[in-house]
A and B are shown apart, each in its own frame.
Chain A
Amino acid sequence: GAGVSQTPSNKVTEKGKYVELRCDPISGHTALYWYRQSLGQGPEFLIYFQGTGAADDSGLPNDRFFAVRPEGSVSTLKIQRTERGDSAVYLCASSSGQSNEQFFGPGTRLTVL
């Protein structure tokens, strides 16, 4: 079956603009995670959904970052007033709740000019 997909694969934006990044998890996976990976670093946790609700948003760096998962499937990560420091690869992962394994998407490379 299809794995986790993310769109767009690349996003270039200007400082101060608003961006939305989309994640389609594996069908039936109840848990969905957003991570951010900067060059040469490990993925950094941002937020985690169990169903429609955010179970843990402790990794969101500030109130410019927000994520939703209104129907318990697709999720959108929203970044307001982007800054150059937001440039990174944003990874989404999902898990079934039965094995703990998280399956990652290909990521969205965000570049803020």
Chain B
Amino acid sequence: GENVEQHPSTLSVQEGDSAVIKCTYSDSASNYFPWYKQELGKRPQLIIDIRSNVGEKKDQRIAVTLNKTAKHFSLHITETQPEDSAVYFCAASISSVNRDDKIIFGKGTRLHILP
């Protein structure tokens, strides 16, 4: 079955700097890659997602890149702010536009934004 590896497990960056989280997946059939942010004691919330037919997607300070050949995808957060501190999960799924499927999550990256 699908396996998603995520690193680093912990990341500390100075406020205003960029943060990068990297993931790899094992199942070449995976075609949907969401990223979730989870604050302490809260539910996971989708922050950005990408499908396999594109290589990059950007939403304000957040961008995700996908390399299907290498089965790598990454989250980039620029101009980090204190409210970016949270645990971030990458995930992979075999989903089509009209059919959802289970999501396999990485183990998470705890991001600390230092003042």
Contacts and interface: CB of A to CB of B under 8 A. Distances in A.
Interface of A: 31, 33, 35, 40-45, 48, 50, 56, 58-59, 91, 95, 97-98, 100-107
Interface string B73-113: 00000000000000001010101011111111111100000
Contacts, number: 61
Contacts of B107: 40-42
Given A106-B43, A107-B43, A101 B102 contact: no
Contacts of A31: 100
Interface residues of B, number: 26
Given A41-B107, A42-B108, A97 B100 contact: yes
B98 A98 contact: yes
Interface of B: 1, 6, 32, 34, 42-46, 49, 89, 91, 93, 95, 97-108
Given A100-B32, A100-B93, A105-B43, A45 B104 contact: yes
Nearest to B108: A42
Given A98-B98, A103-B46, A105-B43, 10 more contacts: A41-B107, A43-B105, A45-B104, A48-B101, A48-B102, A59-B102, A91-B43, A101-B46, A101-B49, A104-B44
